[in-house]
Amino acid sequence: MKTSDVLISGLGVCLPDRVPIGWAVDRELIDRSAAERYGITSVTVAGDLPAPEMAVRACRQALERAGQDPAALGLLLYVSVWYQGPHGWCPQYYVQRHTGAGRATAAEVRQGCMGMFSALELGAAHLMASTEHEAALLTSGDNFTSDLLERWRFSPHFVMGDAGCAVVLSRREGFARLKSVNAVTLPEYEAMHRGPEPLFPPGAGRSGRLDFGASKERWLDGPDRDPAGPLKLVAAQEEIVGRTLEEAGITLEDVTRVAYANGSRERVEDRAMVPLGLPMSLSTWEQGRTVGHIGASDQLVALEQLLLSGELRRGDHFLMLGVGPGLNIACAVIEITEDPHWSTVLPAAAQ
């Protein structure tokens, strides 16, 4: 979807303390060989800090940086990956209550770790639908501290970290422009992350831990496996990246940095940078390896960190690429139109 006058006016991040992967190796929570192969140095661990509380903290920072009155927000979208709190409870209303965004339409987006792309698409469409829609707040929070998941080895190439993030979209002002965002679903891969588990009763009511590695192995050996193999995934990603770049009016040569899901160096290189024909030096892997795979927050946290450090400047283009269970592939292009006031970068006149 090509967007029109959809600006980013604020970004917020909540990153808990980092735990070195060596700590997990010493306690046999992850194999030493896997840890060395992945190249991940640490992950963020929130302990007993609730996921929605991390989202609230990120939202407050984003709203403050944007100078945005929360009462003027027209939409609030909460992106979740893991369990958020009590059964039957809606985390988006907790965020709404604690940020003062009581007039906004609030909803939860549950679409795995590429859910923020869908939130960007929905938020942009909301703003473009009416001139009365001034701003939208998109947020995500996840705490993977759980007996239902082993954060250090639940899936090959990924170690789960905890985080919250938030972005304010505006029609009036901002330091960056969302130029295009797209997503595609390949439902024939739906069973890859389900395996032989029955649909009822729900998994949360049964014993056992989530193991995406085992689910994928069973899928590869079972009747639901797509005979096209990974070729269909490669083609779908190539098509959606090409379409997103075309809508944004740029080429890969114009891309300054690329953010992919925070996995091992091998995964980021093979699934993102090699297909794009770009070097790993343009990826955000060096930052991602210090926090782990933080659910739907990977790409926006990387954006915030690059802006803080001055590695993204006015005129640069940031390409976001994501993938999630389902199977979903998503892409977005953001243009930095000015250095945000909260960046450590000095104005050109002061340098």
Residue 203 CA to residue 142 CA, distance in Å, equals 18
Q: What is the pLDDT of residue 348?
A: 44
Q: For residue 139, how far is the Cα from the chain centroid?
A: 10
Closest to 322 (Cα-Cα) out of 198, 202, 236 = 236
Q: What is the pLDDT of residue 211?
A: 62
Q: What is the pLDDT of residue 351?
A: 37
Residue 61 CA to residue 57 CA, distance in Å, equals 6
Residue 115 CA to residue 316 CA, distance in Å, equals 24
Structure tokens given for 214: 């085992």
pLDDT in tens, 18-51: 999 999 999 999 999 999 999 999 999 999 999 9
Closest to 297 (Cα-Cα) out of 144, 166, 199, 149 = 166
Positive or negative CA dihedral for 128, 132, 135, 137?
negative
Q: Angle formed by the axes of helices 91-99 and 51-66, to 10°? A: 40
Residue 323 CA to residue 298 CA, distance in Å, equals 11
**pLDDT mean for each 10 residues of the chain (351 residues):** 97 98 97 96 98 98 98 97 93 98 96 95 97 96 93 92 98 97 92 76 65 62 64 91 98 98 97 97 98 98 97 97 92 97 64 37
Look at the domain 7-174 and name its fold.
Answer: Peroxisomal Thiolase; Chain A, domain 1 (3.40.47)
Look at the domain 179-339 and name its fold.
Answer: Peroxisomal Thiolase; Chain A, domain 1 (3.40.47)
- Pinpoint the residues of the chain covered by CATH 3.40.47.10: 7-174, 179-339
